[in-house]
Homo-oligomer: A and B are copies of this chain.
Amino acid sequence: MSKNKQEDIFQAAMELFGKRGYDGTTVPMIADKAKVGAGTIYRYFENKESLVNALFVKCVEQFFDAIRKDFPQNSEVRQQFNHIFRRMFVFAKDNSNALQFINSHDEGYYLNEKSNQTFQDFLGFFRNVIEEGIDQGVIRPLPTNAHIAIVYGAFGMLFSHIQSGRMEETPELLNELEESLWNAIRVN
């Protein structure tokens, strides 16, 4: 029997929300998977919406921290890009449920102000790196959001293909993918 029920609920909700979506997941489903009573969930969260928001913030912050940790603030932009790219895939491998949950919920109508802000802050980190790159003339002078969409959008679908087994993740492939995406945003 687990000691930390809140964490059990988070894990169960993350998996179910990630696979079936927010509205496709019922509270009793979460309770079953977490091996707690349905009522117990309401001891830890005010309601289903609070749960999904708390979980979203938690997951995005984990992802954000994983990327920020040891970030080479004073290195070349190319090196910073390498850091971000690698950390994204490491996080994806270690926390595939979290990532699947984030990617399928970041536009949910049930997300509150804090959740949306947290996600914006996360993307803001990429924004800074890209703007720095544009200023230095190493990244193409396009709207920052365009570069973010290319890199993060591609990453999302790459992850989904790896996750589902339609593609195999190897160190060599990762090297190639990093170069592909860098080629997309760099000046020639």
Residues in B with CB closer than 8 Å to A24 are: 21-23, 109
Specify which of B143, B146, B151, B167 is in contact with A146 (CB 8 Å cutoff): B167
Bound: A149/B168 CA distance, A: 13
Q: If A23-B21, A155-B153 touch, does A161 touch B145 (CB 8 Å cutoff)?
A: yes
Complex CA gap A158/B185 in Å reads 14
Give the residues in chain B near A148, CB-CB below 8 Å: 157
Number of interface residues of A (CB under 8 A): 40
25 residue pairs A–B, Cβ–Cβ below 8 Å: A21-B22, A21-B23, A21-B108, A22-B24, A24-B109, A142-B173, A142-B176, A143-B167, A143-B173, A146-B158, A146-B173, A146-B176, A146-B177, A149-B160, A150-B157, A150-B158, A150-B180, A150-B184, A151-B154, A153-B153, A153-B157, A156-B156, A180-B185, A183-B183, A183-B186
